[in-house]
Amino acid sequence: MPLLEIKNLTYTAGDKKILDEFSLAIESSEVHALLGTNGTGKSTLAYVIMGCEGYKPASGEILFNGKTIDELKIHERAQLGITMAWQEPVRFEGINVRNYLTLKSKENDSARYLEMVGLHPELYLHRMVDKSLSGGERKRIELASILALHPKLALLDEPDSGIDMLSTQDIINVINVFKKNGSSVLLITHREEISLIADKASQMCRGKIVCSGNPEKVAEYYKSRKCLVCDGEVCAYV
């Protein structure tokens, strides 16, 4: 039984189908990369899985460990072990990094998680999770907070955006920690080189999966810009 099973999910915004009869299965401990250009529905999929407000699907079903989660609220899904790192994590006044990393985690080992995302604990534990952090620093702290939760499924929405290219290895290291901890990951990315770390990959276009399987093959397909669904209209522009 897959850990996450999405069956024929359709989500519309106005009269536009953002997810169109979308189906996907992720096994326990699997890292699944989801490639796609802007506007193909990748982030929307993450919001729908997480149960964010305004992202209730029109039809279809999401199963987690074989049970439907369609009616569960975000925190109830989180308590089952699903969590998410937003593409642009929000800032918080008056909450320091140490407290942010221990909001709900059972252990108090914030320093270790900061090191895992390439941040020096002595420089960051006392910092506020507010506007004083750069975009890249905030994203790393969000990843550290997700690691600290030991989720069963982490939805990572473009963890590599906003972080300089030299730090791609840091992102790969983080994904490896999730793998080592037995977490499944839905890794949303534009960058095929990041997707290569996954066990499986899929390419999305116009709310559907157009190619799925071995990450190398999917990355090649993605790079070729020969999407049959949009005939290059969407996927040619990266």
Partner 1 sequence: MSELDALMKAFGESGGDSSILTNKEVAHFVVSGHSILSMQSVEGLEVNAKETLSGISASIRVREGIKLQNPVHLCFGILHKKGNQKIKMDVKLEKNASAHFVAHCIFPKAEKIRHIMDAVVDIGEDAEMRYSETHYHGVYGGIEVIPKAVVKIAKNGRYFTDFTLITGRVGKLSIDYSVEAGENAVTELTAKIFGHADDDIKIKEEVLLQGDNARGLIKTRVAIEDEAKAEITGITEGNAAGARGHVDCMEIVKDKAVATAIPIVKVRNSLAKVTHEAAIGSVDKKQLETLMAHGLTPEEAVDVIVKGILK
Q: How far is the CB of 102 from partner 1 (least distance, A)?
A: 10
Which candidate, 94, 102, 103, places its Cα nearest to that of 128?
Answer: 94
CA 238 to chain CA centroid, nearest Å: 19
Query: Cβ–Cβ contacts within 10 Å for residue 97, how many?
Result: 24
Nearer to partner 1 (CB atom), residue 15 or residue 53: 53
> By CB under 8 A, how many residues form the interface with partner 1?
21
Q: Which of 75, 112, 131, 217 binds partner 1 (CB under 8 A)?
A: 75
Nearer to partner 1 (CB atom), residue 90 or residue 166: 90
Is residue 124 within the footprint of partner 1 (CB under 8 A)?
Answer: no
Is residue 145 within the footprint of partner 1 (CB under 8 A)?
Answer: yes
Task: Measure Cα distances from 116 to 10, 133, 147, 148 in Å.
Answer: 37, 18, 9, 10
Q: How far is the CB of 234 from partner 1 (least distance, A)?
A: 27
- Dihedral angle over CA of 141, 35, 43, 98, nearest 10: -10
Distance, CA of 169 to CA of 131 (rounded, Å): 26
Q: How far is the CB of 227 from partner 1 (least distance, A)?
A: 31
**Site for partner 1, rule CB under 8 A:** 50, 52-53, 73-75, 78-79, 83-84, 86, 89-90, 92-95, 103-104, 145, 149
